[in-house]
Structure 1
Amino acid sequence: MKTAFHHAALSWIVAVAAIPMSSLAENGPAAEAPLEVALDIDDDGQMDRAVMVQDPDSGQADLYIYLAAGDEKLDPSRKPAFIKKALTEGRVLELESKGKGSLSVTSCFGCGANKSWAETLTIVHRRGKLRVAGYSRYWDWNVQTSDGDVETTLGSCDINFLTGKGVASQGLDDGQPIKGEFKPVALADWSYEGRPRPCEF
């Protein structure tokens, strides 16, 4: 029996996974970008625009940041101030402004299937750079063994790079503090392949 938390998380993934995705433009997002949101990410009093574009072939998603473009209709030929290729390998479900200039990107793999994980990356602008402020991941991984049984791996992690602290859980256990500290990560250096070890399963 899974916890109510995992049930709620995976039900939400299944519901949102039906969102249609648009195609990629070669050098930037198309005029009708798959997901975009306006926010003042650099806290200069002008609205900026964040755009996520998913490659339907590789599955990887790229992030584009356009400064002082939040209130405009996005011109596809405009050069972004920041590009982060392959921000995630999962299907992007949601791009949100979380207030105080923070940007949240939620994606999933499997999206409610027998082998599923979902993750959320929180991005902020600090000391002149875009940085990863937080990373959380939840997984529900079912594998059929040779004798016909099903092995289920449940777990989660929640890392706050600004405080250097995190919690992780395995199975149905409550999250426990992770020993050690996590150092802030520049968004330019972030890689889903280099996610924190407690977030692997």
Structure 2
Amino acid sequence: MDVKTDHERWAAMSRCSASIAATTTPTANMFVQDGTERYMGVDSSAWFSPVRDVRVMAGVLALNAKGVGIDDPSVNGKRIFGTPRFQATARVEYSPPVVHGLTLDAGVKYTGNMALDAANQFIVPSYTTVDIGAKYETAIAGKDVTFRAGINNLFDKRYSTTGCGYYALPGAVRTFIANATVEF
């Protein structure tokens, strides 16, 4: 079910959903279809403009992801590995009126802990990262051009994320980005 409203100075969207996928488990050195993965959750986001030239955005994801109907009792009913129960984001954008086309932004993202394996014996801790950036939109030779620059993971937070079962991968380190886009 989706609910959405859009207004001049604010908007909001919420989606409640459930989905099911087949799951495979190793049995006698073979992978066989055994049970289902059930994903049930709420994904909501909103933005508002409290004052001219400022936009505040936020989003949350609450997810209940479990393997059900699996013959292996060490896995049945456990969290699906690699899926956090909760994520939240917040972002602020500011377009200073003295420089037409410039937008400055800062954002924070929280990702809850995740199971590293199907039996949920190993858990990757939650983490929070902060990003900053700027965008400048202009026209050059009659073409719309956008320049972007930013820093992802501003505070160089060391964190791990999950891979494909039993693998913890290092998260991205502080990364400087810059690009330009030309509309033809």
Q: Is TM more than 0.5 here? A: no
Query: Which structure is higher in strand share?
Result: 2
* TM-score (norm: length of structure 2): 0.41
Query: Which structure is higher in helix share?
Result: 1
Between structure 1 and structure 2, the one with the greater Rg is: 2
* TM-score (norm: length of structure 1): 0.39
